[in-house]
Structure 1
Amino acid sequence: MPVADTQVEVLIVGGGPVGLTARALLERWGVRTLLVEKHRELSPFPRSRLVNARSMEILRQLGLAAEITANAFPAKFGRIRFRDTLHDSDFASAAMVGVNAPIPESPVSGVVTSQDRLEPVLLAAADTPMRFGLELIDLAEEADSVVALLVDRQNGEQTRVRARYVLAADGANSTIRQQLGIGTTGPGAMAAVTTVVFDADLNSWCADQPAGVYFTAHGSFLPLYPEGGWAWLAPTPEDPDRADWPALVSRALGPSAGVRAHVSRVQHWVMNAFVAERFRHGRILLAGDAAHAMPIIGGLGMNTGIADVHNLCWKLAGAVHGWAGPHLLETYETERQPIAHQTLRQAVANTQLMLQAQSHRREQLRTNGAATPTHRELPWSERYFAQLGLVLGVTYHSDAVLTDASRPTEPSDTGTDYVPTAMPGHRMPHFWLTPNRSTLDTFGEWFTLLTPDPRHWEQQAAAPWPLRIEPLTREHTDLCGLPPQGALLIRPDGHVGARWQDRPASDSTLRHALTTLTASTPPS
């Protein structure tokens, strides 16, 4: 029987980057949460390596971007390099656009950093309770709450938590998703992979040509931290328990390298590729790898999960605080599931192209023998891994977006192109309001009304919804494609919720829009 009972508004299950980001976001909304993680500490493995520009915008909103950037690699590491062995010259290279240099479309750049450097920053970003070593073993939905049974595997102590909502961020092998019987679609398990963390002096081969990832014919090499450390990713051998990992890493570095690797950690894992058939089951919502597992090529997985909870947490806050109706939570799946499918297609395509490149080069090496292979055209352009359209061009279509008469833009099939637009459903474009203040800095735990005509809009009643009105100059309205008396209503996640071409038609214009967007009962 449970020996302790706890009541919270939102129970977060899973203490990776997605669960930790949700915890920080919900704390800022004043939502009482408890985060539980079955492991007894944060992950000691590097795992995810890329924080893209959109995730950095979200982390900037949490006040964390500067610290994360300070602990990350310099921008020059924002490249992918292809080599026969690590100490050979590049035979191809591609930029991580939005990481290797600043971009005008965002106030921040993405960074190359290891997950074990990111998670402590996210953990320190909130003061709400977090308990390590607690594993969820049962879940029961009731009319107005969810009851979770948790167990401490070390001492057997059980805890029963009653929450209004449960956010499942418990990974690709999600216990919650399996307990709910939610299936998945997609390729499934694509490869069994081993990550070997090691130390070796590789500076002479890489210092002049830095990269976040070096793909070779014998696996991928990743620098882990600015001060040192490496990881080698390769297919898991048939008998991993008997493997001589230092010898395998040294062999992969190249027979003429003469370098001995000092291995500190080894982790076996499966590279999955799927999207859950549902993201919501009553009061239980899936996010991150629990909702969609992405192949690692292109660094899309963790970033998609951070965007999930940025979309979800303001909706949970509205449901908890009463200014949104239950139907608003339905828009989470409506908006995020199509993005997950689009992202999965891109991640699978990235993986296939990387494997093709490695296969082509191995064939060249086999055919040429000891001779240096001639250059070969690779199956992508320099822009292939750009992906800005997928990172910044996400568009939502749901009841939480009021469409206007504008013609919608078509999303890029490859995710490489991004065209800034202030049309409903799109992320509000970045531009500088002052030298140090972006349009994105006006968004937070509130709705934002951007207008060159604030006097007329300030007369609109907005309670009980949190709202701030920000004035725009003529220059800014031109950038938005907005007439002099128009306005943009921006949701707390930075996406345009509504757009007006003229002054409010009545005293209830804004109230009607907020009521519709939040699926709430109109205030009397």
Structure 2
Amino acid sequence: MPETDAEVAVLIVGGGPVGLTARALLARWGVPTLLVEKHGELSPFPRSRLINVRSMEIFRGLGVAPAITARAFPREYGRVRFRDTLHARDFATEAMIGIHAPVPESPALGVVTSQDRLEPTLLGAADAPVRFGAELVDLAEEAEAVVAVLADHRRGTRTRLRARYLLAADGANSFVRQRLAIGTSGPGAVGRITTVVFDADLNDWRARQPAGVYFTSHGSLLPLYPEGGWGLLVPTPEDAADADWSDLASRALGTDGGSRAEVLRVQHWVVNAFVAEHLRDGRVLLAGDAAHAIPPAGGLGMNTGVADVHNLCWKLAGVLRGWAGPDLLDTYETERLPVAHRTLRQAVANTRLMFQVQSLRDKQLMAGASAPTEVELPWSEEYFAQLGLVLGVAYGSHASSGDGVDYVPTAEPGHRMPHLWLTPGRSTLDAFGEWFTLLTPDPEGWGQQAATAWPLRVEPLSAEQAELCGLSTHGALLVRPDGHVGARWGHRPPDGSALRDTLAALTGSGR
């Protein structure tokens, strides 16, 4: 029988970027958590590569964006190059929007980095307990808690822990999702990939022709760290046990380079494509790959998971601290599930576009000397110009159903509050945190309403900023802790309880 362990407000299962971000967000709210990870340490594999501009906005709010940027590649690596081999010429190239150069719609800039560089920074973003080598092996829900059984395989012990809520960020093969028999929709497993981590003497060459990814006919080559190291992604061969990984990597480099790959590690993994049927089951909530497995084309998967917990954690905090009703947690699923489906469709479309580029190149090579030396990319701006999907996510009746390409900033309720510079170096996005924010050109007039039972701060807007947001000199915007507009009053409402009534409605508290 497992011995009884302590109680905790939120048990986080999974120590990847999504679980670690949730831990940091809840720590900012003062919510006690325990994160458990079945592996004995953070993953040593590079895995996810792209941190998009919205994730960096969230990390900016957590105060870790500078540290992440310092360990990432310079922004000129925010580009993809298509080549027959690494040492051949580009036959196509494209910059990553929001990575290669700043965009006016955000104070943040996305980066190219490796997941094993990101995770230690996120681990250090909170002083909350983490238990490595602890695997969740059973769970049951009671009236007021989830009872979890954790196995410590190194010590051969089991402990029982009671949590008010359980946040499952335990990957595409989520034990929690399977234990609760939550189904999925989508193609499922769509391929098997092998990552080959290797060294090669390419640093000087790479600096002259920087890219985050080099797509070749022999696989995708990824520079792993600014100081060196490479990864090769190839379809897993049928004879994987006997494969000559060094030879495969060397062929992708090309004979002209004269470089031989020294293989360090090899990892086999499955490309999954699905969305869970539900994101909430009582006191259990799914996030990240446990909720939606997104193919890697376009770098959308991890970033979608980070946005998941940014949406969820303020709601958990409100319920646990008493200023929100428990039904507020239902909005996590209604808001994020459509985003997951839309993101999966985009990633599948990205994958098709990638294959289309290589198909066009193969036709050129078959044509011989008469063929052009470049391929016109078939996607125009659809592959990396995804600000509509990244920054344009909207919740509620105003939710966007577009293709995710175009982003038009708007202060309409449901949308992410647009970035405006309040003062030099301080964005509207920097005004949001562990509170609701009331943005208004008339802070004095709204001050009497601002004395509420919810965490709330009032932030003044200039007349010009107010006009950009569709406000008169006495209007106001109420922004949720996750930066999405909760309500807009173009003019001061006649009812002095409007702000309190709106906060009660947004939080389901009935206060």
The TM-score, its normalising length taken from structure 2, stands at 0.98
Superposed displacement of residue 302, structure 1? 0.5
Unaligned runs of 5+ in 2: none
Cα deviations by residue, 1:152-184 (Å, 9 ceiling, x for unpaired): 122221011100000000000000000010111
Report the CA distance between 1:323 and its aligned residue: 0.5
- Residue pair 2:297, 2:351 contacting (<8 A) in 1 also: yes
Distance in 2, matches of 1:389 and 1:207, equals 31
Q: Which runs of 5+ in 1 are unaligned?
A: 399-407
Contact map agreement 1:183 1:276 (CA 8 A) in 2: yes
Is the 2:92–2:376 contact (alpha carbons within 8 Å) kept by the matching residues of 1?
no
Q: 2:306 maps to what in 1?
A: 306
Q: What code does the residue aligned with 2:23 have?
A: R
**What residue in structure 2 maps to residue 97 of structure 1?**
97
The CA deviation at 1:377 is 3.2
Specify the alignment match of 1:412 in structure 2. 402
Letter aligned with residue 412 of structure 1: G
CA contact (8 A) 1:87 1:205 kept: no
Q: Distance in 2 between matches of 1:126 and 1:139?
A: 26
Map of 1:87 onto structure 2:
87
Report if the CA contact (8 A) 1:6-1:159 is conserved.
no
CA contact (8 A) 2:184 2:276 kept: yes
Q: CA deviation at 1:396?
A: 0.5
C-alpha separation in 2, matches of 1:439 and 1:461: 19
Counterpart mapping for 1:456-471 below 5 A: 456-460=445-449, 462-471=451-460
Relative to structure 1, the CA distance from residue 391 to residue 385 in structure 2 (aligned partners, 3 Å threshold; closer, same or farther) is same
Residue number in structure 2 paired with 1:44 = 44
> C-alpha separation between the residues in 2 aligned to 1:203 and 1:145?
53
CA distance in 2, matches of 1:203, 1:501: 56
Q: Deviations along 1:418-441, whole A, 9 cap, x unmatched?
A: 100000000000010101110001
8 A contact 2:298–2:383 mirrored in 1 = no
Give 2:474's aligned amino acid: Q
| Offset of residue 252 of structure 1 | 2.2
The whole-number CA distance in structure 2 between the counterparts of 1:171 and 1:434 is 41
Is the alpha carbon distance of 1:206 and 1:461 closer, same or farther for their aligned partners in structure 2, counting shifts above 3 Å? closer
Residues 39-58 of structure 1: CA deviation (Å, up to 9, x unaligned): 00001000000111100000
| SS of structure 2 residue aligned to 1:108 | coil
Whole-Å separation in 1 of the counterparts to 2:472 and 2:479:
17
Superposed counterparts of 1:53-452, under 5 Å? 53-203=53-203, 205-368=205-368, 374-382=373-381, 384-397=383-396, 408=398, 410-413=400-403, 415-452=404-441
Paired with 2:159 and 2:497, the residues of 1 have a C-alpha distance of: 48
SS at match of 1:298: coil
More divergent stretch after superposition (376-385 vs 27-36): 376-385
Query: Structure 2 CA distance, aligned partners of 1:277 and 1:24?
Result: 27
Tell whether the 8 Å contact from 2:474 to 2:492 is kept in structure 1 after alignment.
yes
Q: What one-letter code is carried by the residue in structure 2 that aligns with 1:467?
A: L
- Choose 201-210 or 310-319, whichever is displaced more: 201-210
Once residues 16 and 418 of structure 2 are traced to their aligned partners in structure 1, the CA distance between those partners, rounded to angstroms, is: 29
Quote how far apart the aligned CAs of 1:290 are. 0.3
SS in 2 for 1:151: strand
SS at match of 1:385: coil
Instruction: Report the AA paired with residue 210 of structure 2.
Output: P
Residue among 433, 448, 467 paired with 1:478: 467
Tell me, yes or no, if the aligned pair for 1:194 and 1:233 is still in contact at 8 Å.
yes
Q: Provide the rounded CA distance (Å) in 2 between the counterparts of 1:396 and 1:382.
A: 25
Residue 476 of structure 2 corresponds to residue 487 of structure 1: yes
Deviations 1:212-261 (A, max 9, x none): 00101110000011111110000001121211111121122224432210
C-alpha distance after superposition, 1:246-303 (max 9, x if no partner): 1121122224432210111110001111110100000000000000011111110000
Aligned residue for 1:404?
none
Query: How far, CA to CA, are the matches of 1:32 and 1:203 in structure 2?
Result: 44
CA RMSD in angstroms comes to 1.4
Deviation at 1:484, TM superposition (A): 1.2
One-letter identity of the residue aligned with 1:20: L
Conserved 8 A contact 1:86-1:205: no
Q: Distance in 2 between matches of 1:32 and 1:410?
A: 35
Q: What is the rounded CA distance, in whole Å, between the counterparts of 1:149 and 1:331 in structure 2?
A: 28
Using the alignment, how far apart are the partners of 2:321 and 2:355 within structure 1? 49
Q: By how many angstroms is 1:360 displaced?
A: 2.5
Q: 1:379 to 1:511 in 2, by over 3 A?
A: same
The aligned amino acid for 1:351 is T
SS at match of 2:411: coil
- The 2-side partners of 1:396 and 1:373 are apart by 46
Q: Which moved more, 1:304-313 or 1:504-513?
A: 504-513
CA distance in 2, matches of 1:75, 1:180: 43
SS at match of 2:91: strand
- Count of residue pairs the alignment pairs up: 511
User: How far 1:26 moved relative to its partner?
Assistant: 0.2
Measured after TM superposition, the shift of residue 374 of structure 1 is: 4.1
Q: Do the aligned partners of residues 382 and 512 (structure 1) sit closer, same or farther apart at CA in structure 2, a change above 3 Å counting? A: closer
Query: Is the Cα–Cα contact under 8 Å of residues 217 and 361 in structure 1 kept in the other structure?
Result: no
Label 1:127 to 1:410 Cα distance change in 2 as closer, same or farther (>3 A). Answer: closer
- 122-131 or 234-243: bigger deviation: 234-243
In structure 1, C-alpha distance between the alignment counterparts of 2:405 and 2:81, rounded to whole Å: 19
Q: Percent identity, please.
A: 71
Other-structure match for 1:402: none
Contact 1:4 1:158 in 2 (8 A): no
Aligned partners of 2:304 and 2:487: how far apart in 1? 24
Q: Distance in 2 between matches of 1:86 and 1:348?
A: 26
Deviation at 1:394, TM superposition (A): 0.5
Tell me by how many angstroms 1:461 deviates: 5.0
Post-superposition offset of 1:191: 1.1
2:189–2:272 contact (8 Å) kept in structure 1: yes
Q: AA paired with 2:378?
A: P
Q: 1:479 to 1:38 in 2, by over 3 A?
A: same
**Paired residues of 1:95 and 1:382 also in contact (CA < 8 A):** no
Asked if 1:512 is matched to 2:511, the reply is no
Q: Is the 8 A contact 1:221 1:231 kept in 2?
A: yes
State whether residues 135 and 152 of structure 1, in contact with CA within 8 Å, keep that contact through their aligned partners in structure 2: yes
- 1:362 offset after TM fit, Å? 2.6
8 Å CA contact retained: 2:470, 2:490: no
Question: What is the DSSP-based 3-state SS (H/G/I as helix, E as strand, rest coil) of the residue aligned with 2:208?
Answer: coil
